[in-house]
A and B are shown apart, each in its own frame.
Chain A
Amino acid sequence: MNSFQEVFIRYRELMEIAVYGVAILLILIGLYAVLTKKHLVKVVIGLSIMDAGVNLLFVGVGYITNHTAPIFSPGYEDAADKMVDPVPQALVLTAIVIGFAVTALALSLVIRLYRHHKTANIEQLNSLRW
């Protein structure tokens, strides 16, 4: 047990705000950008910030105070009851890679829309509006 873990125990409330609070704030900032911004690239930036917030929230839920990473290195073969939850980490691992694929596809759509309409403003793309 190192001093960092001691601090984690003593300041649990602060940690809760620092992890959950920051993650929820990231989601809100991203959502604000998605809802209000007009430039398409800014909208995708908002999506990627929301993605980051959700990932942090998941890993934060899986964390257990004073437990180590779920890797059975030599010397830690019997420490299974001293490890953090591995399931959210596996989920987030998937989510980051898929998030990259989603961002790349969204940005290629942005490039295509810009080529076709010669504008990146979301309000000027009105050919489907009735």
Chain B
Amino acid sequence: MIFIVFLVIMAVILIAAAVYSVVQKDLLYAVLGTGVVSLVLSVFFYLLQAPDVAITEAAIGIALTTIIFIITIRNTTRDEDKYSEDLINRFKPEEDA
């Protein structure tokens, strides 16, 4: 019984993370939502007896895809409703103290 509860919780987290990453206006948080989707998905693959796919999803989906999204946000804008440059300063790296 505990397994079925675990599985349902996993499914709920997966859908919730996907919806969150679509509706969230702050793109940085949205990208972290897709990272959570990949994480739960790799647990799903493991439960479905596909360890090869689980390892691939864990390495590529969680680490590499998230980082290239973050670099893209750094090069464009962070806020979904602001399309142009005004907000780039929010990503300006801090100067040395």
Chain A residues engaging chain B, CB cutoff 8 angstroms = 3-4, 7, 11, 14-15, 18-19, 21-22, 25-26, 29-30, 32-33, 37-42, 44-46, 48-49, 52, 55-56, 59-60, 62-63, 67-71, 84, 89, 92-93, 96-97, 100, 103-104, 107, 110-111, 114-115, 118-121, 124
Contact = CB atoms under 8 A, between A and B. Distances in A.
14 contacts: A22-B14, A41-B27, A49-B21, A49-B22, A49-B34, A55-B53, A56-B41, A56-B45, A67-B49, A69-B49, A92-B50, A92-B53, A104-B68, A107-B72
The interface residues of chain B, by DSSP majority, are classed as helix
A18 B11 contact: yes
Interface of B: 1, 3-4, 7-8, 11, 14-15, 18-19, 21-22, 27, 30-31, 34, 37-38, 41, 44-45, 47-53, 56-57, 60-61, 64-65, 68-69, 71-73, 75-77, 80, 83-85
Contacts of A120: 76-77, 83-84
Given A42-B22, A52-B38, A114 B48 contact: no
A3 B3 contact: yes
A83 to B, nearest CB: 8
B56 to A, nearest CB: 5
B76 A97 contact: no
Contacts, number: 144
Contacts of B45: 56, 59
A110 B76 contact: yes
A93 B53 contact: yes
B11 A22 contact: yes
Contacts of B73: 41
A119 B27 CA distance: 15
Nearest to A84: B49
Given A26-B14, A49-B21, A89 B41 contact: no
Nearest to B79: A39
B83 A111 contact: no
A21 B80 CA distance: 29
A93 B27 contact: no
